Amino acid sequence: MEAKQYIGEGWKHAILIIGAIVVLLPFYMMVSMSLKSQQEIQSISGGLIGAQETQTFPVCVKTGYSEEECTMKPYKYNYWFAFEKAPIPRYLMNGVIVTLSIFIIQVLVALPCAYALAKLRFYGREFVFSMVLFCLLIPVHGIALPLYVMLAQAGLVDTYSALILPWTISVFGIFLMRQFFMTVPDELIDAARMDGMGEYAIVWKVMLPTAIPALLAFAIFSVVAHWNDYFWPRMVITGNRDLFTPPLGIREFRGGIDSDEFGPMMASIVTVTVPLIVAFIIAQKRFIEGITLTGMK
Amino acid sequence: MHNSKAHLWFIAPAIILMIIILIFPLFLAGGISFTDYNLGNKTFEWIGLENYDKMFNRKTYVKMIWATATYVIVVVPISVILGLCAAMLLNSLRFGADIYKTIFFLPVMATLLAMAIAWEFTLHPTLGIVNNFLANGCGGAREFIFGFHWLPWVDSEQSWYAVACANNMDFPYWLKQKNTAIWTVCFIGIWQAFGFNMVLYLAGLTGIPRELYQAAEMDGAKSTWEQFKLVTWPMLGPTTLFVVTITTIRTFQVFDTIEILTKGGPSKTTYVMMYAIFEKAIQQNLTSIGAAITVVFIGFILILTFFQRYIIEKRVHY
């Protein structure tokens, strides 16, 4: 490699590092604030983790805890107090319930339909497929208002059903699975029929196992989208804290931005955001594949 | 054909759900937009185009269209170009590409709402590191760079940076000021979106055969720029078309950052359509005007997608 190339490489890294700093800035801010004491946050001192001096926290004392209970290091206090103030495990649990229900129902609906569209011949198949293609164009967030009106008329606002129902049909899932099933050889299905398997058994015992890789990518796509979704829960959950999903929880923590302490607030936000980020860093390749699924044609 | 009834059971749930959840609401929105219906009312009257008339003539809704258009027109091209540049830079690196890829993809993954709040603090006038960084740089290299003093036509006494330094560190309150709020929200949108585009472009770049570059070199395209013009850019045509469409559709739907950071303000400069639908229809219970905005919104998205399909069929075939 020539010297010139080294210099070129160096420039590229310089540009990319500046980009990386800008990208990481809010992550740094978030983690740093969740570890530092209020004074350090307000005076923008203490670097990433602050001095971590053991101290008594006045807001905690005011809330009714004894002075002894309120004396500890800032990082510990921030996370402890965050869990004292809000039912964070409940929010996370709701996130899990909602995202998993959505994913399971989506698969239950999409897989048989995709199989029928790919491998069964019947009258009207082309019509059903063009209906799927048309529905691919409709962004569910765009029709949120009429959906909301329908749910309100049915008396379902502020329920788990409201969070789950609109997402039970994933036309994208049908489309994706159909494309995948097209590549499965007919012989496999014929052999299964020869063995006396019914069509139901074929879907779940023959097609499902072959579709695992595609399904995994779709799972990540679906779970990430609905875990992070804020717009829809904000529409249909008006006040019932028991139904809050993680993003609604985040909004609630942010509530007292001027009066409250920032440390515990950021600690709550970090707690809610971290599970997905950790999962992403562990299984990066799969995640990138899953999230850019929409990039497939 | 075996078991001839099985397919009915297989497709029926999907068809029923498609009709109830996706197709019927389109008609419902269309229907409501011609009435004065508000959620909870027992009756309603048909009022024709009155809602649409309001939308294109009342100041609020005109501002809404402006804010949405500004956001889309700024965020889409910049995040697409940044995504392309990042992908090409990473593709040409000898080492370390994976770590940058992970970092740039983080914003796509992370809960946008949480990151919006993190940005709010990062850009906060007294608590944020951005303004602190700027204030500490008065009179130094930072002022020279970010005050654009290196541009020949910028007077170094009168640049925005120098003025802020002179006025007791009066740096912008990024999200609360009329002249900066929309750009700050755009910036967060770009920050969030470009990693996604980068990954799509990286996939597109691996699909370009090496021989094409050798052939281009033989034809005399020696410089990187010439090779880009001759090979990379045309070969990325289909990827670009796709990236632009998907980014536009996502950008149109911006809501999280607006709701948590600006609430459409100051003076409606960030009043984008999704937020308008939410504020009018849910918070103020003006269902019919919300439905009219919904119809226009869906109209935009459908036009865009048909446009994309049209181009795909006409042009981008190699």
pLDDT digits (tens, 9 = 90+) for A54-109: 787 777 777 777 877 888 888 888 888 888 888 889 999 999 999 999 999 999 99
Kindly list the distances between the CA atom of residue A31 and the CA atoms of A20, A125, A235, A268, A278, in Å, as whole numbers in the listed order.
16, 53, 29, 11, 14
pLDDT of residue B224: 81
Residues of B in contact with A291 (CB under 8 A): 108-109, 196
Give yes or no for residue B317 having a pLDDT over 60: no
Nearest CA in chain A to B304: A137
pLDDT at A297: 39
CB A114 within 8 A of CB A174: yes
Number of Cβ within 10 Å of residue A159's Cβ equals 16
Domain ranges in chain A are: 3-85, 88-295
In whole angstroms, what is the distance from residue B143 CA to residue B226 CA?
36
Q: Are B292 and B52 in contact (CB under 8 A)?
A: yes
Closest-CA residue of chain B to A282: B102
Closest CA to A193 of A201, A184, A185, A204: A201
Of the pLDDT bands very low, low, confident and very high (cuts 50, 70, 90), residue B90 is very high
Cβ separation A254–B260 shorter than 8 A:
yes
Assess B117–A contact: CB distance below 8 Å, yes or no: yes
Q: Which residue is it, tokens 């014929």?
A: A190
Mean pLDDT of the residues in chain A: 86
DSSP code at position A2 = -
**Encoded tokens for A151:** 């749910």
Q: Could you tell me the domains of chain B?
A: 1-33 (no CATH), 48-125+172-314 (1.10.3720.10)
DSSP annotation of A257: T
- Note whether B113 contacts A: Cβ–Cβ < 8 A: yes
Q: Express as a percent the part of chain B with pLDDT over 70.
A: 97
Of B3, B107, B282, which has the smallest distance from its Cβ to A199's Cβ?
B3
* Helical segments of chain A, H only: 3-35, 38-42, 58-62, 74-85, 88-119, 125-135, 144-153, 160-164, 171-182, 186-194, 199-201, 208-210, 212-228, 231-236, 246-254, 262-282, 284-291
A138-142, B39-43, B67-71, B258-262 — which is least confidently predicted? B39-43
The kind and range of the H/E element at A55 are strand A55-56
For range B28-32, the mean pLDDT? 91
Write out residues 262-281 of B within 8 Å (CB-CB) of A.
274, 277-278, 281
pLDDT for position B1: 45
In angstroms, the CA B49 to CA B100 distance is 52
Q: Give the residue on B whose Cα is nearest the Cα of A31.
A: B118
The tokens for B24 are: 């019927």
Over range B254-281, report the average pLDDT.
90
Restricting to B residues 43-62, those with a Cβ less than 8 Å away from any Cβ of A are: none
**Measured between beta carbons, which residues in chain B are less than 8 angstroms from residue A257?**
120
- pLDDT for B68 equals 93
Neighbouring C-beta atoms of residue A120, cutoff 10 Å: 19
- Using a CB-CB cut-off of 8 Å, the residues of chain A touching B199 are 288, 292, 295
Label residue A294 by pLDDT band (50, 70, 90).
low
Separation between Cα atoms, residue B70 and residue B304, nearest integer Å: 17
Cβ of B114 within 8 Å of Cβ of A250? The answer is yes
Mean pLDDT, residues B45-61: 84
Average pLDDT score over chain B: 86
Neighbours of B130 (CB within 10 A): 18
Which residues contact residue B267 at a Cβ distance below 8 angstroms, ignoring those fewer than 6 apart? B178
Residue B188 pLDDT: 94
Per-residue model confidence (pLDDT) at position B4:
61
CA atoms of B116 and A113, how far apart (whole Å): 39
Give the DSSP letter of residue A175: H
> Which chain A residues have a beta carbon less than 8 Å from that of B290?
145
Q: Is the model's pLDDT at A296 over the cut of 60? A: no
> What confidence score (pLDDT) does residue B93 get?
86
| pLDDT tens digit sequence for A133-190 | 888 888 888 899 999 999 998 988 889 999 999 999 999 899 988 988 888 888 888 8
Predicted model pTM: 0.88
CATH T-level assignment (fold) for domain A88-295? MetI-like fold (1.10.3720)
Percent of chain A with pLDDT over 70: 96
Q: Do B260 and A262 touch (CB under 8 A)?
A: no
> In A, which residues are within 8 Å of B18 by CB distance?
131-132, 135, 169, 171
Give the pLDDT band (50/70/90) at residue B254. very high
B313 to chain A, minimum CA–CA distance in Å? 14
pLDDT-based confidence at residue A2 (cuts at 50, 70, 90): low
Neighbour tally for A15: CB within 10 Å: 13
HSE-CB of B152 using CA atoms within 13 angstroms: 0
Distance CA B103, CA A17 (A): 10
Interface of B with A in 211-270 (CB under 8 A): 242-243, 246, 249, 253, 255-256, 259-260
Res. B83 pLDDT band, cuts 50 70 90: very high
Nearest to A250 among B117, B127, B294 (CB): B117
Chain A residues whose beta carbon lies within 8 Å of the beta carbon of residue B187: none
Instruction: Select the residue from B5, B8, B9, B17 to test the A interface by mutation, using most A Cβ atoms within 10 A.
Output: B17
Give the number of beta-carbon pairs within 8 Å between A and B.
252
Rounded to whole angstroms, how far apart are CA atoms A89 and A83? 8
Q: Do B278 and A166 touch (CB under 8 A)?
A: no
B104 neighbors A23 (Cβ within 8 angstroms): yes
CB burial class (10 A; 0-12, 13-18, 19+) of residue B194?
buried
Position A256 scores a pLDDT of 55
Q: Is the peptide bond before B266 cis (omega within 30 degrees of 0)?
A: yes
B119, closest residue in chain A (CA to CA):
A26
Pairwise pLDDT comparison (A8 vs B256), residue with the higher score: B256
Nearest to A295 among B4, B121, B203 (CB): B203
What pLDDT, on a 0 to 100 scale, did the predictor assign at position A67? 79
3-state DSSP call for residue A72?
strand
At residue A79, what is the residue type?
Answer: Y
Distance CA A258, CA A220 (A): 37
Q: Which of B81, B105, B111 to mutate to test the interface with A (most CBs of A within 10 A)?
A: B111
Kindly report the number of other CB atoms within 10 A of residue B260's CB atom. 21
Distance, in Å, from the CA atom of B27 to the CA atom of B291, rounded to the nearest integer, reads: 10
Neighbours of A76 (CB within 10 A): 13
Q: Tell whether the model's pLDDT for residue A7 goes beyond 50.
A: yes
Within 8 A of A247 by CB-CB distance, chain B residues are 111, 113-114, 256
Residue A262 pLDDT grade (very low, low, confident, very high; cuts 50, 70, 90):
confident
The answer to ipTM > 0.90 is no
With bands split at pLDDT 50, 70 and 90, how would you rate the model's confidence at B169?
Answer: confident
Cβ-defined contact of A230 to B11 (cutoff 8 Å): no
Contacts 24+ apart (CB under 8 A), B258-264: B258/B185, B259/A230, B259/A234, B260/A251, B260/A254, B260/B113, B260/B116, B260/B117, B260/B120, B261/B116, B261/B119, B261/B120, B261/B175, B261/B185, B261/B188, B262/B175, B262/B176, B262/B181, B262/B185, B264/B67
pLDDT given for residue A25 in this prediction = 92
Residue B304 pLDDT: 85
CB contact under 8 A, B2 and A168: no
